[in-house]
Each structure stands twice: as C-alpha cells, then as structure tokens.
Structure 1
C-alpha cells in the first residue's frame, strides 16, 4: 500500500514545479486528488496523473480567494468523501523592491496569495478535517527566505515568515483535533518561479554556481520537495506538528563563514 492509500489530498499551485511534482507523487502513493492552480497548466498536471493511473479532479482557481479555496474543499468532500491532506503550495515572488521602494498595493497582493491563501486553506480544510473527526495533515509551502534574510526579496521573505508562524499558531489552535500543520521551507529549487535564474545561468554557462552557497553545492529539483511534503502528509509524520522544515541542502545550517575545503586543516 502507498503512503497515502485511501486518502484524499488537495494541492494548490499544482500547475508546475513543486505542486506538479507533489500531485504526481501523492497520486503514485494512492491519494485521490483535487488540484488547483491559477493557470490552465493545472489540467496538464491532471492529465499526467491520469495517464499514470491516478485519480484527480482539476480546478482553475485563485488560491488567495476564499470562495475558490472553499470550492476546492467542497469538491474534495462531494467527489471523494472528505479531505485528509491539504497542501497549500501556491505562491508568488511578488514585489522585488527594497525597503525604500515598498509599494503597499504590490505588498498586499503578495501577502494575499502567500499568507492569506494558506490561512484560508487552514480555515476551510482544517474545519472539514475537524468535522470528519479522523484528523489530517495540512502542509504549507514557506521558504528559507522566511527564516533568514538573504534568500529572497523583502516582501516575499516577510510573507514566507508569516507562513511559518501560521503553521505554528494553527497547530496550537487545532489542539486535540488530530489535525497537524507543518511548513516546508525550500531553498533554491528549479520551478516556474525561479526559471529566470536558471535560464540566465544556463545562457551564461554558469550553472555550476547555482546553489553554491549550500554544502551540497546545487539547487533542488521539485521532486525532492515533493518527497518531504509526502512525508509530512503521511501517517509516517504522525508526531510532527507545528514545524518549519528547511529543505535547502544545508544552507540555513550555518552563519556566514569562510569555508574550509574537505580534507584541509587550518594552519
């Protein structure tokens, strides 16, 4: 049996990147899926899942609009009989300006998608899970940018810090329900959001520099994040709750240092 056999999972941001990789992985582990994305690419993901033998319903939605999030949860309940896993993965990079260039409207839009969206998923999927009385798992996509400065623009980083705190406070507010809430904090990962970075590196033949700041000296692939999301979604993580787990090749394991090469000693 797969890790999610017999379970129903909702995934947002499923049109590409981590969301698409997670949809394929969750389905392969036995979950019935309701997936959403703002773009039509969500239907391409659904086709991939179906061709691999999975069960899926795809909806084109805005993850920061309450009616759309409620629709995802209602669809899971009416089509598959409930919801056991909710992966609030949708997000945007948003405003790229610094502290003196803050645009309140652009900042609000970033927070609408990146913070309010996951909060709405906790609200609606969490309520459905509580009403069902069989517990569940909610996973939120944050970022290493929400842990420390230097991994993303100001507004994006602040929004992802909000997601991390949302996971912690939600886990506390769902005490005794059996519903767990955790966040994953990806490091640099090759997704649609980071495509310009990777395209530039390839065009300049400097891919060897991508991810060079972490001990593994590389970026992540979406499937590597999907594996962690799967763990948190599954019963294997039954005692993991209210945590923000960095999946970053070791980037956040250290303060800035002058690195010593393996095998060398200081003199």
Structure 2
C-alpha cells in the first residue's frame, strides 16, 4: 500500500517549488490532491499529475480563498486528511530600519495569517470529522534564528513555528497533528534569482556553502519530509518544527576546526 492511499490533501503554493514537488510526491503515493496558488502554473501542476488532481488560483492569505479551497476539497471528495500550508513570499531583504509597514504587513498576511487560516478552516473540518489528520506548515530556518532572511520574512516564519506548537496543543484530543517544516536554502521560485546568478557566474559551488553538506536543497528533498509528516509513519510527531537545511541550524557561527587542519 502506498503511504497516502486514499488520502485527500490540500496543498498551497503548488504552482512551483516545494508545493509542486509535494503535490507530485503525494499523488504518487496515492493521495487525491487539491492544489492552490496565486499563479496560473498551479493548473500546470494539476495537469502533470493528471486524474484526481484539482486546482484553483487563490490567495493563501485571504480567508475567503482558503475557505473556498477547503470547500472545493469537501465538494469533490467529502473530507480532508492532509493540509499543507506551503504558500509564502520573501518580502525582500531590506533592513530593519528600511522596511515599510506595508511590506511587513503583507509578508505577515501571506506567510503567517495564511497558515493560520488553513488551520482554522481545514483543521476545523478534520477535528469535527473525528478521524485525525495532518497539518503541515512551511516555516524556515529564518524563523529559528537570524541570518537567513529579511526582518518581516524571519518574523513571519518564527510565528509559523509557534503557530504549529499552539495549534497542536489547542487541537488536543482531536487526533489532528500540526507540524512545521523549516527549509534551508532550496531551489524554488522564491530563490530563483540566487540560483540563476550562481549558474550564470559558474559559482554554484558557493551556494549553500555555509551548511555542513555544502549545497542547497532541491524541492523534492523537502517534499519527502512533507510526505513523511503527512503519512501515518509520523503518527506520534506533533507540534514540532523540523529543520531541513543540510545542518545549517545545528551551529552558531564559529570558526570550524577540521580534522588534521587548522581552523577556517
């Protein structure tokens, strides 16, 4: 039996990157997927999957849109087993003094209010059904400590980590699990300029060099972790924030002592 046989999954941010990779992976493991994204490319993702995939263009930070994709899942399949609130925006790298209230507010709206809306609407459906379920929120290593994103992005992702913990506690006795994934540098639409620049300058060997694996991640590597959290194999994992970052967050910045070598 496939890991998600017969499961119904909502995935936002499914037009590219981690969301698209997760949609394809979930479907390959037997799930029926309902996909959301602001971009038209979400329809392409559904076509790539084929039979059983439904897609809609939506704003993950608007309550009416989140309610609409939840309704689409219920109208199409009658239930929801998995909700992956993956949609997010970077908001730029302006410093703490240079950000505008408008930018800060927009990043929080999409990156933090969006996942809360998925918990509110999809989580309520799961809790009321009494069959358990899995909610997965995309946070970031930027939410664990500074240095991996701009101020609004980092603050929003720290909020997502706490949201997973609070939601898991507040849904005690429902059987619904809530966890967050904290990606490190991953090749997605959001990071495309970084990767394109590195490829153009032939310096890809420098991408991700700060983590012990010395490389960036591919979306499929994050999709594998999302699949695990969505499946019954993660049945006792709840309220956690799992870093998938090549080991970046395992250390504070230090000089490294390499075996048999001087510190670098």
TM-score grouping bracket, smaller chain normalisation: over 0.9
1:147 partnered with 2:134: no
**Inter-partner Cα distance in structure 1 for 2:76 and 2:92:** 37
Q: How does 1:86-165 map to 2 (within 5 A)?
A: 86-165=83-162
Deviation at 1:265, TM superposition (A): 5.5
Count of aligned positions? 263
Deviation at 1:258, TM superposition (A): 1.4
2:230 counterpart residue number = 233
Q: How does 1:246-261 map to 2 (within 5 A)?
A: 246-261=243-258
1:210 counterpart residue number = 207
1:264 partnered with 2:240: no
Give the ranges of 4+ consecutive aligned residues of structure 1 lying more than 6 Å apart after TM superposition: none
1:30 partnered with 2:26: no
1:77 partnered with 2:91: no
**Inter-partner Cα distance in structure 2 for 1:200 and 1:266:** 32
1:5 partnered with 2:5: yes
Deviates further, 205-214 or 88-97 = 88-97
2:14 counterpart residue number = 14
2:165 counterpart residue number = 168
**Inter-partner Cα distance in structure 2 for 1:31 and 1:39:** 23
- Residues 132-189 of structure 1 show CA distances to partners (whole Å, capped at 9, x for unaligned) of 1101000000000000100111110011001001000000000000000000000000
**Inter-partner Cα distance in structure 2 for 1:266 and 1:56:** 54
Are 1:95 and 1:110, in contact at CA under 8 Å, matched by a contact in 2? no
- Residues 17-46 of structure 1 show CA distances to partners (whole Å, capped at 9, x for unaligned) of 000000000000000010000010000000
**Inter-partner Cα distance in structure 2 for 1:95 and 1:207:** 22
Are 1:95 and 1:103, in contact at CA under 8 Å, matched by a contact in 2? no
Deviation at 1:204, TM superposition (A): 1.2
Q: What's the TM-score once normalised by structure 2's chain length?
A: 0.98
**Inter-partner Cα distance in structure 2 for 1:265 and 1:18:** 38
**Inter-partner Cα distance in structure 2 for 1:232 and 1:114:** 20
- Among candidates 45, 52, 55, match of residue 55 of structure 1: 52
**Inter-partner Cα distance in structure 2 for 1:12 and 1:215:** 30
Q: What's the TM-score once normalised by structure 1's chain length?
A: 0.96
Structure 2 gap segments, 5+ residues each: none
- Residues 4-23 of structure 1 show CA distances to partners (whole Å, capped at 9, x for unaligned) of 10110000000000000000
